[in-house]
Amino acid sequence: MFSQAIAPFSDQNKNIHQNWRGDTEKYTINTDLQLQLNAMKDASPAFLSTSTSRLLNTVWEFGTKMNFNPSSSNYLRMYVASDNADLTKELQGLYIRVGYTNKHVSLHSQSGKTSKTLINGTSKRLDMPNVSLRVKLTIDHTGFCSLYSKLEGESIFFLEGTSQLDKEPPVAYLGLTSYFTATRSQHFYFENIVLDILDKDMENLQEPGLWADSLDIVINEILPNPFLGGEEYVELYNRSDKTIDLSSLSILMRNADMSFNKAYPLSHKKEPFLPDTYLLLTKSKENVCQFYACPSLLSCQEIAMPTLTNAGGNLVVINNINNTIIDEFAYNDKMHSAGLASKKGVSLERIDVEGASNDWKNWQSASAENNYGTPGTANSQRLAGLEDGVEIIVPTIAMDEYQIRYKFASAGNMCRAIIFDSSGKVVRSLFNNQLLGTEGVLYWNGRGNSNQTLNSGVYILYFEINDQRSGKVKKFKLPVVVLNK
């Protein structure tokens, strides 16, 4: 099992030359077995570096002491990744800064000579005559960073902030660089510099069964254009027989040039995605479920998400362990049912989980009876191997409405339903251009158009469906017995 302890230091001076390269003459190991800056007054900056190959799924921790109030002239950088052994030159890397103008702990990426702030810690946290603290950085296997600090006298680490790496910097060296003025050239101290595996279970995750292969998981439903006050969502379906680790997956959108935009991990810890289950991805479950009938045992990940452009785009699910594309859906708002008055709040549902992801015929608008969305549960337009049929269930003591149950072999049917009396007169227009799913139930309270009580007798339900894809029209006529006391 990997563990790299760069310190504590021992055998005064010997370890510096054995384990480090760079300005070794500017540092010493003091009698307290601390690495101490011991430079000439005009020798700033002073760096030490050593080889490493770790970045992801790693935790770094070190102690440092400064016998002064840090400033923009007196501060240090701890590099956790660099492609250049000389940490004072142009490089590609990642470093923790302690001190500087804001007197705080922060995390930065570096490209050439340019640095970018990733985590801007608590300002003035180090504003004191003498600073003694421990610093910890964790980076999980998705590149999610968490930076912590613990001042002398504090019992627990304080979270300075978090950030997601846009890309993984090259890793060849780690090390430290001290920036100092003449009066501070011997007042930097370092101890207990250690890096180790963050998640040992993830390090041992070598079984392919825990990772998704192409099309093990499919994009099953998306809502790019939510109702006012709602939230965008994506639904995934695990159609494999594997229990897949969610932290091995990310979701992203392609840019206009088809390059990948920022990837968003589905989890920052190991979590199971079980076979034959649905998973809702959204920024706010509450904002989704206020509009749709979410299942009581909803499997949901509330995560940072890529923005789903209303008009269309390319949505991608990737395995972030080996960068395999698991599924990709090039959606377009023109894929919605032509009979819809508005596409706001209407999701696109996959009809057949075994069908092609980018076959327009494999997608349809969610049904009206489901309020145009089925997040976290089976799609209203799913292919279920049904044969066309309509039946009526008359009211019982347990229910006071007629149930009109239907099932169709194809998705995307518009429905028209009318109740006639025995003379052929229309007594109730139930539905007109109602978008149905492949299976469901509609309700009628047994009353007329003006909500009046109908005379007892035999009535006729005329039920017409229009398959918008084929243009075929199917008609059903069923007798309905109305009994009123």
The pLDDT of residue 315 is 97
Same domain as 254, residue 195: no
Q: Are residues 148 and 236 in the same domain?
A: no
The β-bridge relationship of strands 104-112 and 114-120 is antiparallel
Q: Residue 110 domain-assigned?
A: yes
The predicted-structure confidence for 88-126, as pLDDT tens digits, reads as follows 999 999 999 999 999 999 999 999 999 999 999 999 999
How confident is the model over 434-456, as pLDDT tens digits? 888 888 888 898 899 999 999 98
Tokens 């923005």 correspond to 307
25 falls within a domain: yes
| Locus of tokens 């180790």 | 196
What percentage of the chain reaches a pLDDT higher than 90?
Answer: 54
**Structure tokens belonging to residue 269:** 């810890």
Stated pTM of the model: 0.54
Q: CATH number of the domain that 239 lies in?
A: 2.60.40.1260
Q: Do 438 and 374 meet the contact criterion of CB atoms below 8 Å apart?
A: no
Considering its fold, how many domains does the chain have in total?
A: 3
pLDDT band at 203 (very low <50, low <70, confident <90, very high): low
Same structural domain, 454 and 307 = no
- Residue that finishes a domain, picked among 149, 168, 203: 203
User: How far is it, in rounded angstroms, from Cα 485 to Cα 474?
Assistant: 35
Q: Which residue has better confidence, 257 or 115?
A: 115
Q: Which amino acid is at 146?
A: S
- Report if residue 380 sits inside a domain: no
Does residue 382 lie within any of the structural domains? Answer: no
Query: Contact, 121 vs 105, CB < 8 A?
Result: yes
Q: Are residues 199 and 226 in the same domain?
A: no
CA 373 to chain CA mean position, Å: 20
Residue among 113, 124, 56 at smallest CA distance from 84: 113
Together in a domain, 327 and 460: no
Residue 22 to residue 264: CA distance in whole angstroms? 38
378 domain residue, yes or no: no
Residues 260 and 364 in one domain: yes
pLDDT (average), residues 216-226? 97
Calculate mean pLDDT across residues 293-303.
90
399-406 average pLDDT score: 80
Flag whether pLDDT at 335 surpasses 70.
Answer: yes
Lowest mean pLDDT among 166-170, 248-252, 275-279: 166-170
- pLDDT value at 208 more than 60: no
Q: Are residues 19 and 61 in the same domain?
A: yes
How far apart (Å, rounded) are the C-alpha atoms in residues 114 and 258?
27
| 19 backbone dihedrals φ, ψ, rounded to 5° | -105, -15
CATH code at position 129: 2.60.120.200
Per the domain annotation, does 190 fall within a domain?
A: yes
Question: Whole-angstrom Cα distance, residue 122 to residue 138?
Answer: 18
Specify if 375 maps to a domain.
Answer: no
- How far is 436 from 370, CA to CA, in rounded Å? 9
Same domain, 361 and 397: no
Task: Flag whether pLDDT at 51 surpasses 90.
Answer: no
The reply to whether 231 and 175 lie within a common domain is no
Instruction: Band the pLDDT of 397: cuts 50, 70, 90.
Output: very low
Here the CATH number for the domain that contains residue 467 is 2.60.40.4070
Same domain, 333 and 360: yes
Same domain, 148 and 223: no
Domain boundaries, position 16: 3-203
Neighbours of 69 (CB within 10 A): 14
Same domain, 216 and 189: no
Which one has a higher pLDDT value, 89 or 465? 89
What does the pLDDT average to over 318-331? 90
Q: Does 59 map to a domain?
A: yes
